[in-house]
Structure 1
């Protein structure tokens, strides 16, 4: 079996890469190689490789273990010193080369090397078996992103998702989730060893760009088109929100860019107050004027002394 590729190499980032650099690299690889987008038979394998690499390197604690122990990071018990482990592997490799006349050893160690003896018995007494000594190894926590529309994030509900390892899960999305929020799925992460529990899966919410709404935290912003006479005279108008239509009073003398606040009509709050919705006024003129409309606008221009460019 060929050696596993280095996770940093898979994502194409240096070992000192920041979390933002790791996330950007993964998102690009995931977009380019997702089976729904790329029909190359090898793309699915690259997608799975990138997802596994990201699940490890995106978690600071798991990344530290990977940096310390490499491909063995899931098997090495928590209290093992990285320097002791490195020395033990070095000794094992030298003894393995010295005993090459025999049959091949496991993981680069010679056939007659006792790993437990080599590490000074550090695995003994951890519930493991003599000769193996690992004991139950809990599964690693993993992360994946889930993209939602503004409406899906607002209302919540059940969603079916496909993970990088081809698993399909039905997920309950809470109403009012926000961009960057993490949804925990207990026991859906990496598998545990020797009967140990699986890790958790954390879904990171990403809210997709929307043609009408802009979301900032729990607040929602929407453009509100109004006519010149509604803006000048004031009028009640209807505004579309993710929760349905709402009425807002446009005050007389309103100019484009003014924000009208609708309290509590933003994203719902699961444990706190909901956000607000801000309707941003945009004054629209008819693209084509009738003869009567043109006459009235010309009459207004003749009698009005208003100059918006005068300060």
Structure 2
């Protein structure tokens, strides 16, 4: 994926106000409009300018885009930084829809997946159906939404991603999280407003799950109640564990004689150590299942995941005379060709 410098496309500095961006876009849109311009690349330039404006005109999308940093250059190979949106609080009110122009792979990768997934969108639809009004709405926007400016309206739901440790899903935890919300300052520039919240992480929570914090979303209009805050759970990458849903896998090194003769070995889990039995004649890559030792169930009706120990045969180094002699004895004692199966593939 190639990086797109939307500020460079519009020819404005990163410090530009929202009004500066709007004025610049209007000039460029007239300049490159296919019905008005005689330039050969007018249509592609017009789409490019529209895409840049689609991000930079929106307070939340612009703040999210700026989170990537300014070290990237137009056309450079780009991959979003891991967990780039951690702690970024947004209302999601301005997701681009099917009626807008088709955007690039770069735009879609940043905003379609992160800010417009089905769970969040369905939550917003439910709020709007109940009469929720947009945060910081103008009188015109409120009038359009309600057929007249109401005396009160509920606040909008907010969303944010929080990253927790795998151990937290096994035991539950109390965490203090920091969130940043994009707002416009007095000069019309996008800035981030910070706040902290004390959050209870329930036992059994899994990646992708949403936690609802009642009343922690956008402020209501008039006497309307505030919206809710939905925290999307993500797991911090683990050094030893791989997570798939509620199942957890650990690579367990075993010595050749443990795999061949069988053994009892101790392996770590996110909730302490367990002893597992390695059967005789085990092979590398074989998975041993510990039922119910994965991420716990999130409720009485739920089902806990499983823990899998994936065997990885570790060879002792042949770095002494005794070790080399032992390997030589093993070679002579065993009639073993690890590539014997290749012979059947040859014509």
Please state which band the TM-score falls in when normalised by the shorter chain.
0.5 to 0.7
How far did residue 310 of structure 1 move?
1.5
Which of 197, 203, 208 is residue 175 of structure 1 equivalent to?
A: 203
Distance 1:182 1:242 in 2: 22
Match of 1:167, SS state, is: strand
**Matching residue of 2:67:** 30
Is residue 246 of structure 2 the alignment partner of residue 212 of structure 1?
no
Which of 153, 157, 160 is residue 144 of structure 1 equivalent to?
A: 160
- TM-score computed with the length of structure 1 as normaliser: 0.65
**Matching residue of 1:12:** 55
CA contact (8 A) 1:145 1:203 kept: yes
Distance 1:13 1:305 in 2: 69
How far did residue 245 of structure 1 move?
0.3
**Matching residue of 2:271:** 243
The structure with the largest alpha-carbon Rg is 1
1:136-159 Cα shifts (integer Å, max 9, x gaps): 110000000001122223322111
Relative distance call for 1:244 and 1:163 in structure 2 (3 A) is: same
Unaligned 5+ segments in structure 1 are: 16-21, 34-46, 81-121, 124-132
Distance 1:73 1:196 in 2: 15
How far did residue 289 of structure 1 move?
3.7
Distance 1:148 1:231 in 2: 35
- Alpha carbon RMSD of aligned pairs, Å? 3.8
Distance 2:169 2:261 in 1: 37
Relative distance call for 1:172 and 1:291 in structure 2 (3 A) is: same
How far did residue 29 of structure 1 move?
3.9
Q: How many residues align?
A: 237
**Matching residue of 2:334:** 304
**Matching residue of 1:76:** 142
Distance 2:209 2:239 in 1: 22
CA contact (8 A) 2:90 2:159 kept: no
**Matching residue of 2:177:** 161
How far did residue 13 of structure 1 move?
8.0
**Matching residue of 1:278:** 308
Relative distance call for 1:10 and 1:275 in structure 2 (3 A) is: farther
How far did residue 247 of structure 1 move?
0.6
Distance 2:265 2:282 in 1: 13
Relative distance call for 1:293 and 1:200 in structure 2 (3 A) is: same
CA contact (8 A) 2:21 2:57 kept: no
- TM-score computed with the length of structure 2 as normaliser: 0.59
Match of 2:326, SS state, is: helix
**Matching residue of 1:18:** none
Which of 104, 121, 138 is residue 60 of structure 1 equivalent to?
A: 121
CA contact (8 A) 1:192 1:199 kept: yes
Distance 1:54 1:10 in 2: 17
CA contact (8 A) 1:75 1:137 kept: no
Distance 1:280 1:74 in 2: 61
Distance 1:302 1:177 in 2: 54
